[in-house]
Amino acid sequence: MEKNNQCRSPLLCERRNNIWSLQMTWTLSVLCHGGSWLILRTYNRGKLISSLTELTPCKYQFLTNKLKKPTDPSRQPVVLISCGSFNPVTFMHLRMFEICKDWCNDNGMEVLGGYLSPVGDAYKKATLIPMKYRCEMLSLALESSEWLNIDTWEARRPEFTPTRQVMDYIHRAVNEHLQLGDNVTVQLKLVAGADLLGTFNVPKLWADQDMDKITSDEYGFLCLERTGSDIEDIISKNIILTKNKLNVKTIKVSITNDVSSTKMRELVKNNKSLKYLTLDPVIEYISSNNLYK
Answer whether residue 276 is part of any domain.
no
- The identity of residue 31, as a single letter, is L
- Residue 7 has what pLDDT? 46
- Residue 134 has what pLDDT? 97
CATH of the domain at 139: 3.40.50.620
| Residues 178-204, mean pLDDT to the nearest whole number | 94
| Residues 174-179, mean pLDDT to the nearest whole number | 95
**Same domain assignment for residues 212 and 170:** yes
- Residue 174 has what pLDDT? 97
**Same domain assignment for residues 102 and 233:** yes
Answer whether residue 70 is part of any domain.
no
**Same domain assignment for residues 105 and 242:** yes
Please tell me the least confidently modeled range out of 56-60, 104-108, 201-205, 278-282: 56-60
Answer whether residue 278 is part of any domain.
no
**Same domain assignment for residues 105 and 40:** no
pLDDT tens for 220-268 read 999 999 888 899 999 999 999 999 999 999 999 988 888 999 999 999 9
pLDDT tens for 76-123 read 999 999 999 999 999 999 999 999 999 999 999 999 999 999 999 999
| Domain span holding position 130 | 76-251
Answer whether residue 7 is part of any domain.
yes
**Same domain assignment for residues 21 and 130:** no
The answer to whether residues 226 and 194 touch, using CB atoms and an 8 Å cutoff, is: yes
The answer to whether residues 6 and 18 touch, using CB atoms and an 8 Å cutoff, is: no
Domain count, the chain: 2
Domain boundary among 216, 232, 251: 251
CA 52 to chain centre: 32
How far apart CA 263 and CA 277 sit, in angstroms, is 10
How far apart CA 37 and CA 51 sit, in angstroms, is 12
Residue 37, pLDDT > 70, answer: no
Answer whether residue 71 is part of any domain.
no
**Same domain assignment for residues 43 and 94:** no
- Residue 58 has what pLDDT? 63
38 or 234, greater pLDDT: 234
How far apart CA 98 and CA 92 sit, in angstroms, is 10
Residue 25, pLDDT > 90, answer: no
**Banded pLDDT at 181 (limits 50, 70, 90):** confident
Residue 30, pLDDT > 80, answer: no
**Same domain assignment for residues 52 and 80:** no
The answer to whether residues 285 and 109 touch, using CB atoms and an 8 Å cutoff, is: no
Percentage of the chain modeled with pLDDT above 90 = 74
**Banded pLDDT at 289 (limits 50, 70, 90):** very high
184 or 12, greater pLDDT: 184
pLDDT tens for 50-89 read 444 333 446 899 999 999 999 999 999 999 999 999 999 9
Answer whether residue 89 is part of any domain.
yes
Residue 32, pLDDT > 60, answer: no
The answer to whether residues 187 and 219 touch, using CB atoms and an 8 Å cutoff, is: yes
- Residue 11 has what pLDDT? 53
**Same domain assignment for residues 43 and 173:** no
Answer whether residue 273 is part of any domain.
no
| Residues 172-195, mean pLDDT to the nearest whole number | 93
**Mean residue pLDDT across the chain:** 85
How far apart CA 110 and CA 99 sit, in angstroms, is 14
